[in-house]
Structure formats: C-alpha cells, structure tokens
Amino acid sequence: MLALDLAFFDWEIISRFIAKGFAFSVELTLIAMSGGIVFGTLLALMRLSGRKWLDAAAAVYVNGMRSIPLVMVILWFFLLIPFLIGRSIGAELSAIITFVAFESAYYSEIMRAGIQSVSRGQMHAAQAVGMTYAQSMRLVVLPQAFRNMLPVLLTQTIILFQDTSLVYAIGAYDLLKGFEQAGRNYGRPIEAYLLAAVVYFAISFSLSQMVKRLQVKIAIVR
Amino acid sequence: MIEIKNISKWYGAFRVLTDCSTHVSKGEVVVVCGPSGSGKSTLIKCVNALEPFQKGEILVDGISVGDPKTDLPKLRARVGMVFQHFELFPHMSVTENLTLAQIRVLRRSKAEAEAKAAALLKRVGLEAHAAKFPGNLSGGQQQRVAIARALAMDPIAMLFDEPTSALDPEMINEVLDVMVQLAQEGMTMMVVTHEMGFARRVAHRVIFMDHGEIVEDAPKDDFFGKPRSERAQQFLSKILQH
Ligand SMILES: Nc1ncnc2c1ncn2[C@@H]1O[C@H](COP(=O)(O)OP(=O)(O)O)[C@@H](O)[C@H]1O
Ligand SMILES: [Mg+2]
C-alpha cells in the first residue's frame, strides 16, 4: 500500500523550488503566445496573400512544424545551436525560441481560419473607401478575425501551457522541474509529481472555464 | 466621368462580362437592372477595381482603372460605393465608421473628420445614433450610415450595388429618399437596382443587362416607353407586376 505524505510540502519548498519554475513556465507561455500570434498572423497573411511562393513557403513551414513532435523540435534546436553559432545559449532561451517558432505554426492556422471567417465584403468595403490592402487588413479584417478567434486562441494557449513541461528534455528549470527537484531533495518523488499534476490541472481547468464563459459573452455580443 | 469601353471578364473559363460599353457623364444618374446573375455587381465593381477585368478599358475622371501604374487606393477614395449588405465595420461605432478613412486616407484631423461625420449623420437623419455600433441599428439605418460613410470622402461619383434589396420593405423608402436627394443635388451615380420607381423619378438612363451583356442602354423615357429588346420587355413586365 502506497502511503502518501503530503505534509512535507510547505512554504519553504514553494519559495525554494517551485516559485522559480512557475515563473519560467508562465514567462515561456506568455512569450510563446504573443510571439506565436504575431508570427502566426504573418504566416497566415502569407498563406492568404494569393502569391504562390509566399503561400508555398508558409505552407511548408506550418505543415512541417505540425508534423513533428514538439519534444523533438525542442531537443534538436537545443543540440544544433552550439554547432550553428559556436556556443550554447542556455536551455531557457533555447526553449523560448523553440516555442515561439513551434507555436507560430498552430496560431497561424487559427488566424487563417479567423481571417477567412470575415466576409470578403469587409475587405471590399475597406478598399472602396481608399484604404490600401495592408490598411484594410490591419484596421478592418484582422481585428474582427482576432475577436472571432479569441476563445480558440486562448484554448491553444492552455495547451501550450501544458506543453511547456516538455522542456524537461533539455533540463530547463520550469514548474515541473521545480516539483521534481523538491521531491528529490525531500525523498518524496511520488508526492511531488502528484502535486505537480494537481497544480497543472487546477490552472488549466480554471483557465478553460474562463474561456467558456468568454465564449458565451462573445456569442451574445455578435 | 465614368467611361466603360468593351469590358470583358472571365472567372476561369466562365465569361461573366461580354464586351460591355457605356458611360456615366458628370451629374448623370444611370440605373442598371437585369436578372440575378447577369453580371451587374461584377460590372459595377470593375469600375473601382474591386474586381479585375481581362479585356477593355475603364476610365474614371480620365484615369485608367486597369492600368497597373494607377494608384488604385487613391482612385477608390474618390469613388463612393454602397453595398447590398451594407458592410459597415462591425467593431467600430457609427462615428468611427465615418471617420476611419477620412483620417487614414485623406489625412484629415480627428476633429475635422468628426465634424464632417456629424454633419453627414444629421443629413441622413441619424445624428442620435452616432455612438452606437452597427449591430444595434436596423437595416435601413445601417444602409444610411453606409451612404454617409461613402459621402464622407467627398466622392466625385457614387456606385450603388442593390442598396435596398437586403432591406425589409418598410425600410426601403428611407434609403431611397437619401438617394433621390443625392441625385437631385447633381451627384454622378451608377445604381444597380430593381426599384423602378426610383429609376422613373431620378434616372437619366437605364441599362438592362442579361448574361453578362449590356442588352439595352437607353434614355429613361425610351426604356420605360418601349424597350427595344424582347428580353428587357419580359424582365420589365415581370418586375412591374409586383
Ligand atoms: N468569385 C466568383 N467566382 C466565380 N463566379 C462568380 C464569382 N462572382 C460571381 N460569379 C458569377 O458571375 C455571374 C455574375 O454575378 P454577379 O455580377 O454577382 O451578378 P448580379 O449582380 O447581376 O446578380 C454569376 O453567374 C455568378 O455566379
Ligand atoms: Mg448582384
């Protein structure tokens, strides 16, 4: 019979092991989300540009990224960097760059669907008052695309938050690593991993409840 | 003002427009009618290059629309367009709908643009709705805002693509009244519509299209007196029945 002893978990452990890891997981999630949405939108615009080469280049990138397991991209980028630039950039920075590059592919598919959800007439109306293609996109189409896709973008971000735990593969110090270290130091690995699961669940679940409520709100506005 | 010379257009292998030629002089009101799918929207969208065409030439105020060197945004800023489904920007207030292009395209100051917007909203009878969002207005109100949005650019001509056909019957007149007033003030207008009452009141010429061709292009009185083509006669008898 497995005897669980959760009493070892106290404020000292949180401040010594968990806080630092939690901060990095949140940082990684937020940077990957903002970077991913910006680059993802650019990829989506390339795919919808109607220019063959831009479309093809973006399609190869997006489909390529979406066909490779994330953990492999994390590993390969981390191992390749020293060969490319002659020195290591550290697990954390390597993880950030990898996540932005990887998540861009997923966010781009969401933004592409978002742009296509805005009727062609909106682009026509914006151009008819003399705005350029770029102005029409930026001021008329993209704000609507973004609003339409907000729940999906946030859901993707929740998945992203869970996936940040994959940086254990290159030894970056994230939330999961914090729990692992705590468990090792106190000789309670099972309890530590159990608590880690509870924390990931609590955060993801409450965020997705918020997204659900947001979805209802948006449906009313529209 | 608008000269359309031998325009042909294809969607892939499908020929939408066949050798269309006509013109709209300064201050003239030309009504375009014809069965659904005959190419009316396509033709009117060619005028401000929202749709490209493969053959022929269109001149707007002497500027060639199809010329790759033409600054299309600049040209479009001078030609107002009103759409069947209004196409107001739903994420902006009525006032913002009217000021956006004034500020971004004409580089007017915010205060100047808002003053212009307020004056135009008053003119179409919607000054009380300036702060609302398009989704909170009726169809007729939205279409009047759309007309005001186009007028805010001080256009040299206005294009209308079935501006009343998406409206409930009781709202058609509030939009037509604005259009009649515009016509009487001497605005150059090309109007795709089946509102023959409007055509009788203010049109100078009526164009009838069928299968991508301009079948009839006649002064209003000739057109309503006795259309020469049988297809136009049939069309007229059909829409005048109800
Ligand atoms: N983007 C498009 N691709 C292919 N065919 C189109 C497209 N837009 C319009 N058409 C076709 O062109 C013809 C003319 O359309 P349209 O100009 O909208 O007619 P109307 O405004 O007179 O009803 C129709 O047969 C329509 O199906
Ligand atoms: Mg049409």
Interatomic CA distance for residues A32 and A44, integer angstroms:
17
Tell me, what CATH number does A154's domain have?
1.10.3720.10
Among all bound ligands, the one having the nearest atom to the CA of B42 is 1
In angstroms and rounded to an integer, the radius of gyration of the C-alpha atoms of chain A is: 21
Contacts of B114 (CB under 8 A, 6+ apart): B95, B99
Q: What is the pLDDT of residue B233?
A: 87
Q: Which amino acid is at A151?
A: P
Residue A22's pLDDT band (boundaries 50, 70, 90)?
very high
Sign of CA dihedral A123, A125, A128, A131: negative
Give residue B59's Cα distance to chain centre. 16
The number of beta carbons lying within 10 Å of the beta carbon of residue A143 is 16
User: Which among B21, B213, B197 has a CA at the least distance from the CA of B232?
Assistant: B213
A117 touches B at CB < 8 Å = no
Interatomic CA distance for residues A195 and B218, integer angstroms:
83
User: Above 60 in pLDDT, residue A185?
Assistant: yes
Interatomic CA distance for residues A160 and A190, integer angstroms:
25
∠ CA B40-B44-B49, nearest 5°, is: 135
Best of A129, A133, A221 to substitute, by most chain B Cβ atoms within 10 angstroms, is A129
Distance (Å) from CA A127 to ligand 2 centroid: 18
Q: Measured between CA atoms, how close is A131 to chain B, in angstroms?
A: 6
Q: Measured between CA atoms, how close is B81 to chain A, in angstroms?
A: 6
Nearest chain B alpha carbon to A147? B91
Closest residue to A130, CB basis, from B83, B87, B153: B153
Interatomic CA distance for residues B38 and B193, integer angstroms:
13
A176 touches B at CB < 8 Å = no
pLDDT tens digit sequence for B183-226: 999 999 999 999 999 999 999 999 999 999 999 999 999 998 87
Residue-range definition of the domain harbouring residue A110: 2-221
DSSP reduced 3-state for A100: helix
Locate the ligand 1 atom nearest the alpha carbon of residue B38 and give its number: 22
Q: What is the pLDDT of residue B130?
A: 95
Nearest chain B alpha carbon to A127? B73
Distance (Å) from CA B36 to ligand 1 centroid: 9
pLDDT tens digit sequence for B78-136: 999 999 999 999 999 999 999 999 999 999 999 999 999 999 999 999 999 999 999 99
Q: What is the pLDDT of residue A17?
A: 87
Locate the ligand 1 atom nearest the alpha carbon of residue B43 and give its number: 17
Contact call for residues B53 and B8 (beta carbons, < 8 A): yes
User: Above 80 in pLDDT, residue A60?
Assistant: yes
User: Above 50 in pLDDT, residue B18?
Assistant: yes
User: Above 60 in pLDDT, residue A50?
Assistant: yes
Contact call for residues B127 and B121 (beta carbons, < 8 A): yes
Residue A1's pLDDT band (boundaries 50, 70, 90)?
very low
> pTM for the full model?
0.91
Contact call for residues A3 and A68 (beta carbons, < 8 A): no
Q: What is the pLDDT of residue B234?
A: 87
Question: What's the mean pLDDT in A70-93?
Answer: 91
Q: What is the pLDDT of residue A14?
A: 79
Question: What's the mean pLDDT in A77-104?
Answer: 92
Encode chain B in three state secondary structure. Answer: CEEEEEEEEEECCEEEEEEEEEEECCCCEEEEECCCCCCHHHHHHHHCCCCCCCEEEEEECCEECCCCCCCHHHHHHCEEEECCCCCCCCCCCHHHHHHHHHHHCCCCCHHHHHHHHHHHHHHCCCHHHCCCCHHHCCHHHHHHHHHHHHHCCCCCEEEEECCCCCCCHHHHHHHHHHHHHHHHCCCCEEEECCCHHHHHHHCCEEEEEECCEEEEEEEHHHHHHCCCCHHHHHHHHHHHHC
User: How many CA within 13 A on the CB side of residue A218?
Assistant: 16
Interatomic CA distance for residues B106 and B91, integer angstroms:
21
**Which residue's structure tokens are 């296509």?**
A116
Contacts of A88 (CB under 8 A, 6+ apart): A81, A82, A94
pLDDT tens digit sequence for B52-77: 999 999 999 999 999 999 999 999 99
> ipTM higher than 0.90?
yes
Query: Residue A216: which H helix or E strand, with range?
Result: helix A189-221
Interatomic CA distance for residues A48 and A142, integer angstroms:
13
Share of chain A above pLDDT 70, in %: 95
Per the prediction, chain A carries an average pLDDT of: 92
User: Which among A12, A64, A25 has a CA at the least distance from the CA of A168?
Assistant: A25
Asked whether B147 lines ligand 1 (CB < 6 A), one says: no
Ligand 1 pocket, mutate which of B7, B11, B213 (most atoms under 8 A from CB): B11
Closest residue to B76, CB basis, from A128, A140, A222: A128
Sign of CA dihedral A104, A110, A113, A117: negative
pLDDT tens digit sequence for A112-149: 999 999 999 999 999 999 999 999 999 999 999 999 99
**Which residue's structure tokens are 């690593």?**
A177
Asked whether B37 lines ligand 1 (CB < 6 A), one says: yes
Number of domains, chain A: 1
Q: What is the pLDDT of residue A95?
A: 95
In angstroms and rounded to an integer, the radius of gyration of the C-alpha atoms of chain B is: 18
Nearest chain A alpha carbon to B90? A144
